[in-house]
Structure formats: C-alpha cells, structure tokens
C-alpha cells in the first residue's frame, strides 16, 4: 500500500505473500532463551522484521527515508517524532514500526499482546487521534495519540530498533521495475548466504537447534504453559502461513523439492497446533521431530 501510494504500478506490485518472502523472514527457525521465558518464531534468525523490510525494499528496487537516523535516535523525543510523522503523511502514507501491539487499543485483545511487534501505515495525524491502515483486518483504525506514541516507542520489543521508527518518502530507484525472476534471484542469493549463519546459543538458536530447544522447553514444567500459549495462539498459525508463502516462492523459483519440503512443514505446523490444543503431547513431539528431519534436509534442497 505504501509503494502504491508512492506511484508503483498496481499490475507490477507483488502479492503480500511474495513480498513477505522478499524480507527473507519465512526462511528459518528462531528460539530465544530469555530470563522471562523462552520465545520461538518460525522466522529467519539472521534478520529481524525491521531489517527484513529494508531488505525487501532494496530487492524491489525502491528506497525510502528512514527516520530517525542512527546518529539522532538517542535524542529524539515524542513531540519531534509526531511533528515529523505529521509532515510526512501530508505527502504520502508513512510506514511506522515496530509498534507494540499491547498499545494498539482498537485491537480487542491488545492487553494480552504487550511486547509483540507490528507494523502499520499511517494515513493521517489529527490533534487527538492517528488514523492507521493496519493490514491485520483494520483498514481504518483510529488510535488516540497517547496510545499511538506508546506503541511507537516500542520499549518492550526485544530486537534492536530505534524508538519512533518511521519510513517515508518512498521512491523507485530502478526503471523499469525489476521482473519477478530478478526479485526471486536476488532473494535466493540472500537466503543462501543467511543459511550459512548458524546460531547455537546461549541465547539465540536457529534452524535445527531452535527446534530441538523447543522440544525440550515443552517438556519443562517451568515455562511449558507460557510457551504453549504462544504456539497455539500465534506462532504455529503464522508459521503455516509463512511456510506456504515460502513454498510457493520456491516453486516459482524452480526449486520443487525445497518447495515440497516447506509445504510439508506448513502442514506439520497445522497438525502441531491442533495436537497442542487437544493436549496430545506425544503427537506434538512427533510432529516437531519430523520438522527437525525436514529442517536438516532443507539447506541441500535450497542449493538446487
């Protein structure tokens, strides 16, 4: 939506699932061993969502102004941030995030989502409210300015970012726009390079190591309830969606075996979500074990 508002041709703009793959986020597994409890995401451990957006824009042949700059981030206050955002949206919608979902008070379950990240498009800034386009089923979301600023400050978001992160003034850098085959080739090059970055603790685990840590954590009494809630309500449904997007992307790239591998992973995530909801713990562990086997096979399949 941001690119279209900036003049991108509608018949060129890729669909959301394809754009998600350009961030490289659907390709990988991530487990964090934190003092407050473990967190797991079926997401690329080499990049965070904020970095993924920048990667996708570069791959698409677009640029934008990112604010604040790394030099200014420490000194930015909310009044300056709001003034910058207000001026930006007078030209075109601006992308804000990460936002803390816990402060998006138009969301009926916001009080349970504190610390979860989100991104949205700002359409207008009024004296008392900010008008957002939230892609998660809220095309016109009205949010009080105070709640918006707390969400935009994003103090509880766990990965590195500046408060009040804003992307504005989107511009095409390549003419003509890159064809889909070019976008796929650029992204595959990134994914293959990232796959060589293995993380095995003590805080961050990736790939097979992340899945194995998850299996152990689900058997531990201390954190199992917290982790099960994350998995059943958010992580596994999102994982199935992302893995299906990734499978379609790899199929279009001509990597049929890798696409089949990710499609089976998507199916297993759906089964795991049901098993977890039904308290079928052994069946859940069997699903995760099969995911480990597939994850081990994937690097060779991605190499083509």
Average pLDDT over residues 184-199: 92
Q: pLDDT above 70 covers what percent of the chain? A: 98
Quote the tokens at residue 236.
Answer: 């596994």
pLDDT on residue 250: 98
Q: Which of 12-21, 110-119, 189-198 has the lowest mean pLDDT?
A: 110-119
Tell me the CA distances in angstroms from 8 to 41, 66, 140, 174, 177, one per residue in order.
Answer: 32, 19, 22, 11, 9
- pLDDT at residue 258 above 70? yes
Q: Which of 28-37, 89-98, 242-251 has the lowest mean pLDDT?
A: 28-37
Please, are residues 269 and 239 in contact by the beta-carbon 8 Å criterion?
Answer: yes
Domain boundaries, the chain: 2-172, 194-302
Quote the tokens at residue 148.
Answer: 């918006």
Which of 43, 58, 53, 26 has the alpha carbon at shortest distance from 183? 58
Q: Which of 11-20, 163-172, 218-227, 248-257 has the lowest mean pLDDT?
A: 218-227
Burial of 75 (C-beta count, 10 Å sphere; 0-12/13-18/19+): exposed
pLDDT on residue 58: 96
pLDDT on residue 160: 77
Average pLDDT over residues 127-138: 93
Comparison of pLDDT for 286 and 224, the residue scoring more? 286
Average pLDDT over residues 278-283: 90
pLDDT on residue 223: 64
**Model confidence pLDDT, tens digit, residues 93-128:** 999 999 999 999 999 888 877 888 899 999 999 999
Average pLDDT over residues 259-268: 98
Q: Which of 19-23, 75-79, 145-149, 233-237 has the lowest mean pLDDT?
A: 75-79
CATH classification for the domain delimited by 2-172, as one of 3.90.70.10, 3.40.50.170, 3.30.565.10, 1.10.3720.10: 3.90.70.10
pLDDT on residue 71: 65
Q: Edge to edge, what strands does the sheet with 39-41 contain?
A: 39-41, 30-32, 204-206
State the average pLDDT for the chain. 92
- One DSSP character per residue, 39-65 reads EEESS-TT--HHHHHHHHHHHHTEEEE
- pLDDT at residue 53 above 70? yes
**Model confidence pLDDT, tens digit, residues 204-234:** 999 999 999 999 999 886 767 878 888 988 8
Helix (H, G, I), strand (E, B) or coil at 248: helix
């Amino acid at each position: 939506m941001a690119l279209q508002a900036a003049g991108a041709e509608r018949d060129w703009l890729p669909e959301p699932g394809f754009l998600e793959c350009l961030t490289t986020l659907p390709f990988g597994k991530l487990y964090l061993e934190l003092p407050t409890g473990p967190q797991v995401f079926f997401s690329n451990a080499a990049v965070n969502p904020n970095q993924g957006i920048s990667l996708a824009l570069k791959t698409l042949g677009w640029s934008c102004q990112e604010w604040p700059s790394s030099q200014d981030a420490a000194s930015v206050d909310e009044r300056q941030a709001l003034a910058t955002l207000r001026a930006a949206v007078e030209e075109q919608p601006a992308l804000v995030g990460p936002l803390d979902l816990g402060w998006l008070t138009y969301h009926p379950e916001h009080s349970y989502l504190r610390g979860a990240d989100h991104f949205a498009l700002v359409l207008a800034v009024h004296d008392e409210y900010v008008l957002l386009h939230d892609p998660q089923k809220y095309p016109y979301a009205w949010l009080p300015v105070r709640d918006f600023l707390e969400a935009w400050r994003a103090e509880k978001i766990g990965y590195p970012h500046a408060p009040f992160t804003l992307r504005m003034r989107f511009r095409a850098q390549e003419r003509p726009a890159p064809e889909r085959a070019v976008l796929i080739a650029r992204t595959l090059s990134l994914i293959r390079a990232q796959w060589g970055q293995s993380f095995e603790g003590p805080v961050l685990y990736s790939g097979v190591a992340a899945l194995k840590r998850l299996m152990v954590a689900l058997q531990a009494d201390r954190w199992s309830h917290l982790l099960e809630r994350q998995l059943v309500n958010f992580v596994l449904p999102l994982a199935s969606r992302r893995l299906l997007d990734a499978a379609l992307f790899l199929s279009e790239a001509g990597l049929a075996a890798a696409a089949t591998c990710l499609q089976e992973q998507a199916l297993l995530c759906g089964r795991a979500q049901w098993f977890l909801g039904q308290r079928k713990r052994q069946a859940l562990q069997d699903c995760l074990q099969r995911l480990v086997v597939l994850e081990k096979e994937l690097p060779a399949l991605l190499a083509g």
